[in-house]
Structure 1
């Protein structure tokens, strides 16, 4: 039993050391590829398989409109919480008890942890690891860095990852020049980027886009120094 405990202890120590090392590394270094990019690549038909579109840019090269659009659509308490929005989680639980559709309560930090370090399939193991990485990210990264990684890694269309690639793909312009409505259109497809299009937008996406822009006006100017 002692040998078993020693072996398990070593595994835990190595796991913590390696994962913390990656989190520290990605505090400064761009994330070159995510597990989801690789998974989506192999999901394609082998004869028509193409690599993902992904162009890393700094947060200063991503329009404030894009940053605010995802805060308003995905996580309005992003600048105030420590990785977990308890009220949003409670609302999601209540919502899911009443209806058939599953509604998540994931914050931008949780989504970043999942996108960068984990796989998309729902399971208790993945959720546990997501919680672990979320805590590490909030401890080691700034809110601005979390947003930078999030906006450079998230899926924003079929085979399209990150704000720069999405801006070029949907609107033929750099992410720095996205307008409120263009940023809102991209944010509107995030719940299901494989299914929806930012441009031309369906009636559903048009409705979501209008709602996001309204929330952006209510939210107003923001700063990462707020926390």
Structure 2
């Protein structure tokens, strides 16, 4: 009898695991959660000026990872009506001339860029100002299909939830105009020691001319390329109709 008792094993009480179907239902909530969070995120930033952007954080981490402990971010927010009127139209003339007309994606520019790239030579992009805001404000650096899909999603939200003036205001404040220099106010202070409200049309055009390669070109000490491009931007701004093109006086 004693030997029989020693061979008996007591099984621990185990709680039944949830059915696999229930576990899959939980995963289905993740996209719903992401949609809700991203909508609230974009809606909040319609009214709240961001203290930092994703690209600023990424660039700061990159600099520290390379051992550049002296790297500093220069960023000062300014509302659009506190900037020189020549700056917004210069950005539009340089980067996205159909900005007031499209809904976040310029299909004409995409088609032209595709035809140009198919012929070879220097690659040309077709990102709108809205897309650049989505990338700089919310996403990480690099290229992937996931990142591109998120860029499209955030661009749709920005266009749906923000007025055009807010999109342009955000871009003018978070665009990089030099290594570690973000926004027109910081650039104006660093390069010309004055407020963004006092930028001249020529200076506004030079800031726009260094985009999208602000670490390669300098607005403060423009070379031949920046000078030619800045002159072209000023001509384009006049041809578009100046501030009236953006619905301003």
Q: TM-score, normalised by structure 1?
A: 0.95
Please state if 1:26 is matched with 2:57. Answer: no
Gaps of 5+ in 1: none
Query: 1:129-168, aligned counterparts within 5 Å?
Result: 129-168=150-189
CA contact (8 A) 2:73 2:180 kept: yes
Offset of residue 47 of structure 1: 4.9
CA distance in structure 2 between the partners assigned to 1:100 and 1:14 by the alignment: 43
Please state if 1:108 is matched with 2:119. Answer: no
Offset of residue 40 of structure 1: 1.3
CA distance in structure 2 between the partners assigned to 1:8 and 1:51 by the alignment: 41
- Out of 55, 71, 81, the residue aligned to residue 92 of structure 2 is 71
Task: Report the secondary structure of 1:222's partner residue.
Answer: helix
Structure 1 residues 101 and 171: CA distance shift in structure 2, 3 A: same
RMSD: 1.5
Other-structure match for 2:244: 222
Structure 1 residues 193 and 47: CA distance shift in structure 2, 3 A: closer
- Out of 11, 16, 23, the residue aligned to residue 35 of structure 2 is 16
Offset of residue 3 of structure 1: 3.1
Offset of residue 106 of structure 1: 0.5
Offset of residue 194 of structure 1: 1.1
Structure 1 residues 40 and 175: CA distance shift in structure 2, 3 A: same
Other-structure match for 2:22: 3
CA contact (8 A) 1:113 1:130 kept: yes
Offset of residue 50 of structure 1: 2.5
Gaps of 5+ in 2: 1-19
Task: Report the secondary structure of 1:76's partner residue.
Answer: coil
Offset of residue 95 of structure 1: 1.1
Task: Report the secondary structure of 1:156's partner residue.
Answer: strand
CA distance in structure 2 between the partners assigned to 1:79 and 1:130 by the alignment: 20
Q: Which has the larger radius of gyration?
A: 2
The count of corresponding residues between Structure 1 and Structure 2 is 226
Q: TM-score, normalised by structure 2?
A: 0.86
CA contact (8 A) 1:35 1:119 kept: yes
Other-structure match for 1:59: 80
Offset of residue 222 of structure 1: 2.3
